[in-house]
Chain A
């Protein structure tokens, strides 16, 4: 009897087998066995896409827009993006050669990494961070090098931290501010210090700015607008968070022509183009969606104030996040790991929050709470969390 599956070696490459499962997926599987959970674990807006944006998609469907678009995406949309980035973020791009429409920032990230990093290259990124970064770097055969941030720097990355992580193999620096899961934002001065370092060491920056429109307390700063950076930055942004369009799967990359062309090569052979109905919706968002994004931003900002206030009252200290829609409280004061805390909270109070370790080892002791959910849910979750912490506290002395 030859060829029994267990005896035979796996069909899957060792390379893929070595990539760990996402901590988010693990947690999802536990949560999905339960009913009536209040979830603060959701990394997407709770708003439904604004009606006029949905309507643009429906109109396009009515008019028979069911075909491929140019590989780069609709030129009209690329032009609108060029205007949007120039006006809002201070970097100018040629819509014909420097902008690519992608299937979300997810695809853009993959293209960017594959275009500029390969075997032997180190890619620096900061933790705690979005779950995709390390795996996507590995898919490209490159070497993910995390830099740890913590409360002492308010989860901000500093030029000093980067400087000490740079090696002769460092090619790329991957940034995500405002950050998922911490909500940290970098001040302009720090971005400029980082930019000087990047120029000095001849690196390239991939900047995932998907949450940039959800910056609450100050100006929105893109590193692409720092001196010397436009030509060594791949700027990634999209429509998922800003206009509550996660299901449309549409994002974009802006980069100098040579880099964009390399990304485009992968895109044309693997994706062909982003869905046309989503591109039409994205165009409507850029043309007429300013009031919607402003409204959603102000609602998030109020919820942020609320949840930040309540968590600190409850005795789970957290920084006031300056962006995105997450708070990252410290839950390590009760003799439990982040995972144990999250699982017991789920078990005893039916509230789901992702343990900080899903975002990197340095997330130990923390928990990500998303406030992209209705205020009533947040209130009830905080009541339950307060009760839970009240029970833990006597034991923690």
Chain B
């Protein structure tokens, strides 16, 4: 991946001026490249990575494995498209292996999610079966550790 994208993935708040210094490029060029990434849909948004376990949200997250019958035209895409529209769905992937779609959902309560699966997902034409796993604790999210690693102080002056 291009160094500019890597830097933005680490810290999307980094200023174009600093990005320019880090990459030793003119700031106008950095601005233009970011604009191009946005226009091309390569950068699709900027978000904070929040450790929700630390907030009293009382929300539950679950991963659902779904088996689907592919349709003659469009294969999995048609069903997948429908499922991905639900606001409960956070991320979703077509998978190889024992099931077809992997869906990350969130809801207010366990019942919420259970209801979503049985009433809205399972009833979709083409969905053959579902298996729901509730998440208990987040250790790492989007490459970021959710626990603070104990840091070891280095000595302040060394040769």
Contact = CB atoms under 8 A, between A and B. Distances in A.
B42 interface: no
Contacts of A24: 157-159
A22 B159 contact: yes
A352 B158 CA distance: 11
Interface string A22-63: 101001100110000101011110101000000000000000
B45 to A, nearest CB: 23
A130 B155 CA distance: 17
A305 B155 contact: no
A302 B157 contact: no
A310 interface: yes
Contact of A303 (B22, B156, B157): B22
A42 B155 contact: yes
B158 A42 contact: yes
B20 to A, nearest CB: 8
A302 B30 CA distance: 14
A32 B158 CA distance: 12
Contacts of B158: 24, 28, 41-44
Contacts of B24: 305, 309
Interface in B109-159: 149, 152, 154-159
B18 interface: yes
A298 B18 CA distance: 16
Contacts of A22: 159
Interface residues on A, range: 20 to 34
Given A298-B3, A302-B3, A28 B155 contact: yes
B159 A130 contact: yes
A24 B152 CA distance: 21
Interface residues on B, range: 10 to 19
B12 interface: no
Contacts of A41: 156-158
B159 A131 contact: yes
Given A42-B154, A44-B154, A302 B22 contact: yes
A22 B158 CA distance: 11
Contacts of A46: 154
Interface in B21-38: 21-24
Interface in A342-397: 352, 354, 375, 379
A61 B22 CA distance: 40
Interface string A255-269: 000000000000000
B94 interface: no
Contact of A306 (B18, B152, B157, B159): B18
Given A48-B152, A302-B7, A310 B21 contact: yes
B11 to A, nearest CB: 9
A132 interface: yes
A27 B156 CA distance: 10
B156 A32 contact: yes
Contacts of A31: 156-157
A354 B18 contact: no
A28 B155 CA distance: 9
B23 A302 contact: yes
A138 to B, nearest CB: 16
A305 B21 contact: yes
Contacts of A39: 156-157
A28 B157 contact: yes
B85 to A, nearest CB: 38
Contact of B157 (A298, A310, A352, A375): A352
A341 to B, nearest CB: 16
Nearest to B25: A305
A42 B3 contact: no
A139 B152 CA distance: 33
Contacts of B152: 48
Nearest to A34: B156
B156 A37 contact: yes
Kindly name the residue among B21, B23, B149 whose own CB sees the greatest number of chain A CB atoms within 10 A. B21
Given A48-B152, A298-B3, A302-B3, A309 B21 contact: yes
Contacts of A354: 157
A44 B157 CA distance: 9
Interface string B1-15: 001000100000000
A391 B22 CA distance: 27
B18 A379 contact: yes
A53 B11 CA distance: 27
Contacts of B149: 48
Given A298-B3, A305-B24, A42 B18 contact: no
A43 B23 CA distance: 24
Given A28-B157, A43-B158, A305-B22, 20 more contacts: A24-B157, A28-B158, A42-B154, A42-B156, A42-B157, A42-B158, A43-B159, A44-B154, A44-B158, A46-B154, A48-B149, A48-B152, A130-B159, A180-B159, A302-B7, A302-B22, A303-B22, A305-B21, A305-B24, A354-B157
Closest 5 CB pairs of A and B: A28-B157, A41-B157, A309-B21, A302-B22, A305-B24
7 contacts: A31-B156, A32-B157, A42-B154, A42-B157, A43-B159, A130-B159, A302-B7
